[in-house]
Amino acid sequence: MRRPTIADIARQAGVSKGAVSYALNGQPGVSEATRARILAIAKEIGWRPNLAARTLNGARAHAVGLALCRPARFLGVEPFFMELISGIEAELSARSYALLLQVVGDHEAEMGVYRRWWGEGRVDGAILVDLHVDDPRVPQVQEMGMPVVVLGHPSAAGSLVPVWADDSSAVRETVEYLVALGHRRIARVAGLPQLSHTAIRDRAFGDVCADLSLDSCPIVHTDYTGEEGARATRRLLSSPERPTAIVFDNDIMAVAGLSVAQEMRLDVPADLSIVAWDDSPLCQVVRPPLTVLTRDIPAYGAHAAQRLLALIDGAEAGPLEDEAPRLTTRGSTAPPA
Amino acid sequence: MRRPTIADIARQAGVSKGAVSYALNGQPGVSEATRARILAIAKEIGWRPNLAARTLNGARAHAVGLALCRPARFLGVEPFFMELISGIEAELSARSYALLLQVVGDHEAEMGVYRRWWGEGRVDGAILVDLHVDDPRVPQVQEMGMPVVVLGHPSAAGSLVPVWADDSSAVRETVEYLVALGHRRIARVAGLPQLSHTAIRDRAFGDVCADLSLDSCPIVHTDYTGEEGARATRRLLSSPERPTAIVFDNDIMAVAGLSVAQEMRLDVPADLSIVAWDDSPLCQVVRPPLTVLTRDIPAYGAHAAQRLLALIDGAEAGPLEDEAPRLTTRGSTAPPA
DNA sequence: CCCCTCGGCTGAACCGGTCCAGTGACCCTC
DNA sequence: GAGGGTCACTGGACCGGTTCAGCCGAGGGG
């Protein structure tokens, strides 16, 4: 049982392929009566447009690509990507676009994937995430001429369209809040130093600490895992200038830090205040529940997808600044004892 | 700058399109000298096969589909899907297959997605997850004639190829272990009751509790969220026949349960033992670290992808029983006080 | 020396759509 | 009633590959 084609419909309706094409695509060139007849036949025999045939005529592939370049075990850890993907999807599926996903090992492999997808006509565009400082992917995709939206700060996006949020102001808001509570020694447990958003947050943290002339404001870099988060916390809490507050770059490290504090018989929040970046069910489930920097990640993904679809449609798309992360206070922050 | 086609290569090499096609596909019909010349030109001008054109000739679409039918906020919570996807991908990308992903709201939408993908020739097959009891999707995809691998127990897979693990024996192993420690009142905080693996675990739990004539063995169903896990735990710990051990169906509920216990001034593991289903960094980060049922989820995904590719290649693929979850003991389980 | 075979290649059909030029039929208008 | 315009539709080229029938020339066997 072959899939029905427009030729089958044409034969049944007693018209030409061309007329069927017009009818099915809502284009002028057929009478309403004929159109209705053709649509009825198409429905009856269960006709679906063959995407390959359409694509071959220079039409869109109706798919966009996303290559994620983090080891599988890190991907699973953070809800971020799954939420991002569901946001992207919500937008794409409304327009019947598909998402092509690939998990790759490094940036070279990632570029290989994009080149292949683009070269094969499999995707109409892509979303670039996890920008690095001086990211080599930016000039490379620019050169490919593929429509691309970048999730990250405009300063790192070259001439690509960026969708971003103001992490700096979020960092500032957090530190100012902690200082208002009375903290003078605040530490930051950051993610991978080569990521551009880590650099931006690091700088903002340094700046605000200098502005407020804090006593100490160390930054420790990690790989986002709970183990490194725990180790960093242990190190910070063992130092002579022990911080009274720590801001973590993700939820899993914050929870690990909380465990370390409890292990060391420090009370949270009396002896140590904790702030996590990105809210997740996890943050609300532990005791005390964690004060967090909240982002609407699905919306972030949806906006990126919107911008990309606009770009694919040939529209001029400018950068989009999304809502900055908001501080949501819970039980893990308080004035130092 | 148009993408180069085989016609461009043919012109440059001074041969026909046909000859180029033979050369590029490693088929007989051209001399080795010509083949080398053609390959060199193809490489030089950066030729890539146009997938649409190939697909149009009845070739494979070189993509498989995966539609996930859980609300976005649940998806983000559990590392399961991200790990599963990375496992699937590892296998697919080795064969240059792409993964089409879509997050849908309900089973009807999911079937719509599969029908569209299959009808449009966008995918060569699909992977079905989260089987329900008497799942309507099973007969429907069977009817479509699309190659499909099911992640779930053979009893629910109809004539589709199942890839599964023996959850029953894992449940039994866990309960027997807890009983060996001295527990007589063991509860199970389960996931969505309509999921077929929940039903299987429920039955196994009931069976082993009966076999060992336990004093009480309540089951509470939840939606997998931390909140419901916490509520279920609170209810169980407030009952007159308070359990001394609880087995949770995922990690986030187990952590929520741990928090509830600590809130109620119960010591874990002295007053309450906790077991979580599926290991994750989270389980190792909390205090005490959680005893868990460990599965190699990426491998699970990889096996499903392997089976599916075999099916697509027209091979006869039988059911595949994957390794059963193993009990990994950590600090959250001990003899009752 | 002729015939046959076979390797190497060409030309064209084909996949399932889109889209453009062209063709009648019909209506309107002066 | 001739000219012009519009509408509904046809036929065929085309997208970029694959594949098949057939052609040509070289080499081998009788």
What local confidence, expressed as pLDDT, does residue B234 receive? 97
**Residues B205-247 pLDDT 10s:** 999 999 999 999 999 999 998 999 999 999 999 999 999 999 9
Residue B326 at interface with chain A, using a CB cutoff of 8 Å = no
Question: SS3 of B62, please?
Answer: coil
Q: Which helix (H) or strand (E) holds B208?
A: helix B196-211
Whether the Cβ atoms of residue A300 and residue A84 lie closer than 8 Å to each other = yes
Question: SS3 of A250, please?
Answer: coil
Say which residue the tokens 């946001």 belong to: A87
Q: Tell me if B119 and A46 make a contact (CB, 8 A cut-off).
A: yes
Range in A255-259, B74-78, B332-336 the model is least confident about: B74-78
What local confidence, expressed as pLDDT, does residue B104 receive? 87
**Residues A31-42 pLDDT 10s:** 999 999 999 999
Q: Is the pLDDT of residue B73 over 70?
A: no
Range in A164-173, A307-316, A322-331 the model is least confident about: A307-316
What local confidence, expressed as pLDDT, does residue A73 receive? 63
A57 beta carbon to strand C: under 7 Å: yes
A119–chain B nearest CA distance, Å: 6
What amino acid occupies position A99? L
Nearest-CA residue to the C1' of D20? B18
DSSP conformational letter for B216: B
Contacts of A190 (CB under 8 A, 6+ apart): A198, A201, A202, A219, A220, A221, A222, A249
Q: Shortest CB distance from A49 goes to which of B83, B120, B263?
A: B120
Instruction: Show the domains of chain A with their CATH numbers.
Output: 6-49 (1.10.260.40), 63-166+297-322 (3.40.50.2300), 167-294 (3.40.50.2300)
> For strand C, which nucleotides have at least one atom less than 7 Å from a protein CB?
7-21
The C-alpha angle A319, A324, A329, rounded to 5 degrees, equals 170
Cα separation, B204 vs B211, in Å, equals: 10
Average confidence (pLDDT) over B131-143: 94
Report chain B's terminal Cα–Cα distance, integer Å.
76
Average confidence (pLDDT) over B92-110: 90
Residue A255 at interface with chain B, using a CB cutoff of 8 Å = yes
Residue B299 at interface with chain A, using a CB cutoff of 8 Å = no
Query: In chain B, which residues from 2 to 61 place their CB closer than 7 Å to nucleic acid strand C?
Result: 14-19, 22, 28-34, 53, 56-58
**Residues A226-283 pLDDT 10s:** 999 999 999 999 999 999 999 999 999 999 999 999 999 999 999 999 999 999 888 9
Long-range contacts of residues B230-233, Cβ cutoff 8 Å, at least 24 apart = B230/A285, B230/B256, B230/B257, B230/B259, B230/B260, B232/B189, B232/B257, B233/B189, B233/B257, B233/B260, B233/B261
